[in-house]
């Protein structure tokens, strides 16, 4: 009964702390850690059942990694693209190198420097996904690239945790258990075969009962976590791989949604326990290093990403916004350091040291990401050195008059492109994805590399003679600005824009949009038109089915998919 009372008091205090954090618009993870500090030995000293809370926190970490693994499907990795792979690996390499040398200059040992340097390379996938979702930027180019290199980081974490969990005691290559590594590789290979050939069929059986699917998911995740722990690896690695093995299941989204409430409760206890274990008595020597490393993460990490993306031909705004998404360390950084403490490589003070860096960088990067547009406006003129304009030639046509402008040529824009070609009208495709522009140029399609948010670029476009302008960019402010600019130049232009929000769609109409395309409503509208046209004629619907399957296969080859992460869009 004592553990129940103790846990109840801890949760109540956490609710109050997190309420304040919520008012400050900070990630709740900060509130959890601060609540842990408050209930810890330096303040209220409430925690007595440390072992029980430790078990709960380990379950939370395992469930967290299990759910992250569910999103790491091999298919998703394939779709990440060259830029995400290069940027992800490049950021890991340069951040760890610079971090290691900074740590050595500050007097840390080689082992501590290695751990701290690697911890600085991880950014929080969960926090970034939440912030991008709140900003409705998941479908923007920088959002897609950010998610891509965050996935690259997550894959790297798997390897790193495998390596660290195979050591014990002093970090020395001679201590690595070769048998453990071989056993782990064989086990992962076996699980891969099971996930491809066995689990899809089993998941259909489990999915017939929602409760059974939920129970199977918990059992699969925790059993594999325990199995990996038994053969010499960490439970965290087992849980992560358990998630990956289920990631190709058609029910992985449903599994993830069912597991999240359970994960959220237990992971809260992990961060509370983490906060309660912070050692402030010996942390004084780490205050200055923590500030230095925090500044490196907040400024240095974004600079590394901006340089890499600039070299790949991306505009300074895309590079800047993507760079800000790595301006914090991750919950994985804390898990990684905690694992180092667990296997005896690090002292507990280092975990407190890295936790302080996490608190500073998570809080700071939240504001940087939320207000990235305003920050970029003030810094834009200083960021030109991160944009190599010669890589993607921004050629101007000899004839600047076009009948149609199309801003954004991905999923929705592809349909317009086919119609324009049939109409035989002069059209110009404008997109700020250099890979897409390169592909369009190979197909001899008239296109320009440009950013619709760049006023200087828009001034070079002649809207006076254009008869139609289409924007497939799902950003309200961007479309609003574009409408106002076009109307000033030519009030008779047909303006078509995209929106995912009814209130915003009405506002766009008020400002002068000719038609607002709302993709989420088009499916029902199209189906109702088919019913009106075909009635109950079975053969006509079969013809539509064949055409649609052919259409979907074409889109699949082009890499087009529906947005998955933001259900409100």
Residue pLDDT, tens place only, 138-197? 667 788 788 778 878 877 876 777 677 665 544 444 444 455 566 667 777 787 777 777
Res 69 pLDDT > 80: no
pLDDT band at 399 (very low <50, low <70, confident <90, very high): very low
Res 566 pLDDT > 60: no
User: Does 2-384 match 404-517 in CATH topology?
Assistant: no
Res 87 pLDDT > 80: yes
285 DSSP assignment:
G
Res 98 pLDDT > 60: yes
CATH architecture of 404-517: 3-Layer(aba) Sandwich (3.40)
Q: Which of 437, 427, 457, 426 is nearest to 393 (CA)?
A: 437
Show contacts of 166-170: CB within 8 Å, 24+ apart. 166/232, 166/233, 167/343, 167/345, 168/343, 168/344, 169/343, 169/344, 170/344, 170/345
pLDDT at 139: 63
Res 292 pLDDT > 90: yes
Q: Which of 91-95, 157-161, 208-212, 410-414 is most confident?
A: 91-95
pLDDT at 220: 87
Residue pLDDT, tens place only, 448-506? 887 777 766 777 788 888 889 989 887 888 888 899 889 988 888 899 888 888 888 88
What is the average per-residue pLDDT within 393-421? 70
pLDDT at 305: 92
Lowest mean pLDDT among 34-43, 152-161, 357-366, 481-490: 152-161
Res 100 pLDDT > 50: yes
Percent of the chain residues past pLDDT 90, beyond the cut: 13
pLDDT band at 4 (very low <50, low <70, confident <90, very high): confident
Distance from C-alpha of 61 to C-alpha of 55, rounded to nearest angstrom: 10
CATH architecture of 2-384: Up-down Bundle (1.20)
Question: What 3-state DSSP class applies to 406?
Answer: strand
Lowest mean pLDDT among 267-271, 401-405, 408-412, 480-484: 408-412
What is the average per-residue pLDDT within 540-554? 78
All residues at 6 or more sequence positions from 176 whose CB lies less than 8 Å from its CB, including other chains: 163, 166, 167
Q: Tokens 């500044």 sit at which residue?
A: 295
pLDDT at 547: 80
495 DSSP assignment:
E
Distance from C-alpha of 527 to C-alpha of 187, rounded to nearest angstrom: 47
Q: Outline where 106-198 has alpha helix (H).
A: 110-119, 125-135, 141-165, 178-197
pLDDT band at 389 (very low <50, low <70, confident <90, very high): low
| Phi, psi (deg, nearest 5) at residue 440 | -65, -40
| Phi, psi (deg, nearest 5) at residue 397 | -70, 150
- H helix or E strand, kind and range, residue 260: helix 252-276
Res 31 pLDDT > 80: yes
Domain assignments of the chain as residue spans, ordered by start? 2-384, 404-517
> Given 3-state DSSP classes, what are the helix, strand and coil percentages for the chain, each rounded to the nearest 5?
70, 5, 25
pLDDT at 281: 61
DSSP E strands in 456-529: the ranges are 468-471, 494-498, 515-517
| Phi, psi (deg, nearest 5) at residue 232 | 115, -5
pLDDT at 569: 32
How many distinct helices (H) and strands (E) make up the chain? Answer: 26, 6
Res 396 pLDDT > 50: no
User: If 0-12 CB within 10 Å is exposed, 13-18 middle and 19+ buried, where does residue 27 land?
Assistant: buried
Res 417 pLDDT > 60: yes
């Amino acid at each position: 009964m004592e553990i129940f009372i103790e846990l109840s008091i801890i949760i109540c205090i956490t609710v109050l702390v997190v309420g304040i954090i919520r008012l400050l618009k900070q990630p709740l993870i900060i509130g959890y850690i601060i609540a842990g500090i408050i209930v810890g030995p330096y303040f209220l000293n409430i925690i007595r059942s440390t072992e029980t809370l430790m078990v709960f926190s380990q379950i939370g970490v395992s469930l967290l990694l299990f759910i992250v693994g569910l999103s790491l499907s091999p298919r998703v990795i394939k779709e990440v693209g060259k830029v995400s792979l290069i940027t992800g690996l490049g950021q890991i390499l340069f951040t760890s190198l610079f971090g290691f040398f900074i740590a050595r200059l500050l007097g840390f040992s080689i082992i501590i420097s290695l751990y701290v340097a690697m911890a600085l390379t991880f950014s929080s996938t969960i926090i970034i996904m939440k912030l991008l979702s709140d900003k409705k930027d998941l479908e923007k180019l920088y959002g897609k690239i950010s998610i891509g290199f965050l996935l690259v980081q997550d894959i790297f974490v798997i390897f790193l945790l495998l390596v660290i969990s195979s050591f014990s005691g002093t970090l020395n290559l001679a201590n690595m258990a070769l048998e453990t590594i071989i056993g782990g590789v064989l086990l992962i290979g076996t699980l891969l075969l099971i996930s491809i050939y066995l689990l899809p069929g089993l998941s259909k059986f489990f999915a017939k009962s929602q409760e059974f699917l939920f129970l199977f998911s918990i059992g699969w995740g925790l059993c594999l976590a325990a199995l990996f722990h038994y053969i010499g690896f960490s439970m965290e690695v087992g849980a992560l791989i358990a998630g990956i093995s289920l990631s190709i299941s058609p029910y992985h989204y449903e599994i993830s949604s069912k597991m999240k409430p359970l994960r959220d409760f237990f992971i809260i206890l992990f961060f509370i326990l983490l906060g309660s274990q912070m050692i402030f008595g010996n942390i004084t020597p780490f205050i200055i290093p923590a500030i230095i490393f925090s500044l490196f993460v907040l400024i240095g990490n974004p600079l590394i990403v901006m340089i890499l993306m600039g070299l790949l031909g991306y505009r300074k705004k895309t590079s800047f916004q993507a760079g800000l998404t790595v301006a914090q360390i991750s919950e994985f950084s804390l898990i990684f350091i905690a694992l180092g403490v667990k296997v005896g490589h690090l002292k507990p003070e280092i975990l407190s040291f890295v936790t302080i860096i996490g608190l500073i960088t998570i809080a700071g990067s939240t504001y940087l990401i939320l207000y990235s547009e305003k920050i970029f406006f003030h810094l834009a003129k200083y960021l030109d050195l991160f944009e190599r304009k010669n890589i993607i030639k921004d050629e101007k046509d000899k004839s600047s008059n076009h009948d149609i402008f199309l801003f954004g040529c991905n999923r929705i824009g592809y349909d317009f492109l086919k119609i324009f070609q049939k109409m035989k009208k002069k059209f110009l495709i404008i997109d700020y994805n250099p890979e897409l522009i390169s592909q369009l140029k190979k197909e001899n399609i008239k296109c320009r590399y440009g950013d619709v948010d760049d006023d200087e670029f828009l001034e070079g476009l002649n809207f006076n003679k254009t008869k139609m302008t289409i924007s497939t960019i799902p950003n309200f402010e961007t479309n609003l600005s574009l409408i106002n600019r076009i109307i000033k130049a030519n009030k008779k232009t047909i303006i078509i824009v995209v929106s995912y929000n009814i209130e915003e769609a009405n506002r766009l109409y008020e400002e002068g949009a000719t038609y607002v395309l709302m993709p989420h409503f088009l499916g029902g509208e199209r189906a109702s038109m088919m019913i009106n046209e075909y009635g109950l004629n079975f053969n006509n619907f079969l013809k539509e089915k064949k055409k649609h399957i052919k259409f979907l296969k074409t889109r699949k080859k082009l890499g087009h998919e529906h947005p998955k992460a933001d259900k409100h869009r």
